[in-house]
Structure 1
Amino acid sequence: MEQKNFDVIIIGGSYSGLSAAMSLGRSLRQVLIIDSGLPCNRQTPHSHNFITQDGEKPAVISAKAKLQVDLYKTVHFYNGLAVKAIGKENGFEVSTDSGETFNSRKILFATGIKDLFPEINGFADCWGISVLHCPYCHGYEVKNEKTAIIANGEMAFDFAKLISNWTKDLRLCTNGKSTLTLEQTEILKKHGVQIFEEEIDSFEHEEGYVKNIIFKNQEKVAVKAIYARPPFEQHCPLPADLGCDINEQGLLKVDFMQKTNVAGIYASGDCTTQMRSVAIAVSIGSFAGAVINKDLIDEDFEVYKV
């Protein structure tokens, strides 16, 4: 790629990154999007709760978004992985896995998170298809079906209450000894939630659509959907390498303007919020792009201050 200097480098070209790029492209900014092509929802068959796009395939949404962003000739795409970033006097230098380097005044990380799946055979195969993280994204499609939740303790109690809005045919699998309080256990049982404390061995499924949970004692429970919130880590190590703070939940810490604690570095999308949805990622990205453009304008005018 011949051009090496940009106003903004966006690392991560999925929904939030593309949305930010559109804001910046419409602001006449020179933008480079570096993306390795591995969105976290790549297995998910349909995206929901996104007005005008409800039920569309995620890949179709991102492909359409990329085509629209590509119409802005100041926005450029680089297919690859950003492996190093360093701060310089007037901005940043970003290196890719192919050895190319690019410079920018600002960086936006829209790099998402990496889910850390439990050692349950079939979990990864079903993730985003019938093993779900969000009832607002997928709950309507499995309403009133036989449903399980994999969680324990306080999170299990809150998660079970939430999912009971979409189905009363509900099982809570603590995947080992329950850490619910006696009061929580009684409340859940009173609302018809079955509790299983056996450790889970595997999911029996067909092309990602779960049919049975199989426990290590070989007991089998039929379900059509499973909710789980596995732990995660930042998908990209570069923000931490640059000194960006990460909060207790493992998310990049940003202020209300999507700014990290490091001057000139911004973040948006799933790497910054527990509200993981395409619609929210798009919204945050659009806002972040506008903020970055305003900061660039303010800096340019600051130069001429007497």
Structure 2
Amino acid sequence: MDKNEFEVIIIGGSYAGLSAALTLGRSLRKTLVIDGGEPCNRQTPHSHNFLTQDGSTPSQISHVAKSQVAKYDSVKFYEGLAIDGMRISEGFEITTSNGDVFTTKKLVLATGIKDIMPDIKGFSECWGISVVHCPYCHGYEIRNKKTAIIANGDRAYHLVSLVNNLSKDITLLTSGIKEFEENQFEKLQRHKIHIIEKKIVAIEHSNGQVERVVFKDGSVENYECVYASIPFEQNSALPKKLGCKLTEHGHIEVNLMQKTSEEGIFSCGDNSSMMRSVATAVYGGTITGAMINNELTQEYF
């Protein structure tokens, strides 16, 4: 192998990618991690619900993880973006934004997802700080606060049911006509969930901490925290370019072994899981690394 040939290339060096790299490094697989250095949770002040690291910052966890993976000589790191990829006879060819070209037998897509921010002034500045997506990741820290939930339909109903155990002062902001089945609406009323259907135009905040929600009619409501269900897209164009199937929700389709629909391509992390958390990303990466090592073992042995 020359310096640009690898057994495995991992695109994405956050928790899932580093976890896969750790497993492969411990199996002496020549591995390259290509990472652009902008994880989706970079604005989040603390990470929770991950054993041994509960309350650490995302960057602290990443720093420790990368330093541990870097101890394995077979794992190399490349700072930059993978912008193109194609299947070749020996496996795959990956091209970076700097024009560097690498080849690999197996490919891991740990590229994450990109949240699509709504047209609400102040929303993106609060995202991951006091406007959050997950009760498991953030709910304990904002328990018993005056809470708004920006969502509608089935997703709103599901979020309300989870948050109801963490706060008894919940308002559902549908930002339009509410869309609930009759039995859902009856249960929301039974639990005294207030619903506001007015369009949201802004979130007023102080350094990312929610203070007020402003509606199109000029009215204002005070809240201390907000949950929001927003759409996302794949962070990288490579999964589609390489032919990987997506689920109806927009995730990369994988089986229990983290294999995509394309032979030789694996995926792990937020891009292929509905469970957005450090713990599930690490789990997916570990499985990915082990399954790739097993495939290479069977091919070589």
TM-score (norm 1): 0.96
In structure 2, the residue matched to 1:116 is 116
Amino acid at match of 2:262: V
Are residues 1:56 and 2:60 paired? no
Q: Report deviation, 1:53.
A: 0.2
Q: Distance in 1 between matches of 2:213 and 2:72?
A: 49
1:70-149 to 2 correspondences below 5 Å: 70-149=70-149
Indicate yes or no: 2:169 matched with 1:169: yes
RMSD: 0.9
Q: Which residue of 1 aligns with 2:158?
A: 158
Distance 1:279 1:202 in 2: 33
User: Which residue identity is paired with 1:155?
Assistant: R
Match for 2:249: what amino acid? Q
CA distance in 2, matches of 1:266, 1:56: 29
The residue that corresponds to 1:33 in the other structure is 33
Inter-partner Cα distance in structure 1 for 2:101 and 2:182: 58
Q: Secondary structure at the match of 2:13?
A: coil
Q: Distance in 1 between matches of 2:43 and 2:225?
A: 15
Residue segments in structure 2 that go unaligned for 5+ positions in a row: none
| Residue type of the alignment partner of 1:181 | E
Q: Distance in 2 between matches of 1:256 and 1:224?
A: 40
- State the distance in 2 between where 1:234 and 1:187 align: 35
The answer to which of 158-167 and 40-49 deviates more is 158-167
Matched residue SS, 2:247: coil
For residue 159 of structure 1, report the CA deviation from its aligned partner.
1.5
Give the match's secondary structure for 2:53.
Answer: coil
How far the C-alpha of 1:189 sits from its partner, in A, is 2.0
1:43 corresponds to which residue? 43
Compute the displacement of 1:130 (Å).
0.5
Q: TM-score, normalised by structure 2?
A: 0.98
Q: Aligned equivalents of 1:229 and 1:235: distance in 2?
A: 18
Aligned to 1:304: none
% identity of equivalent residues: 51
Q: 1:50 is paired with a residue of what secondary structure?
A: coil
TM-superposed CA distance for 1:287, in Å, is 1.1
**2:129 & 2:235 partners in 1: Cα distance?**
21
Paired position in structure 2 for 1:68: 68
Give the distance between the partners of 2:96 and 2:133, measured in 1 at CA: 32
> How far apart in 2 are the matches of 1:118 and 1:235?
17
Q: Any residues of structure 2 matched to 1:266-285 within 5 Å, and which?
A: 266-285=266-285
- The CA deviation at 1:153 is 1.3
Q: How many residues align?
A: 300
Deviations 1:210-235 (A, max 9, x none): 01111111111111111112101100
Q: Which residue matches 1:214?
A: 214
Quick one: distance in 2 between partners of 1:17 and 1:181?
Answer: 40
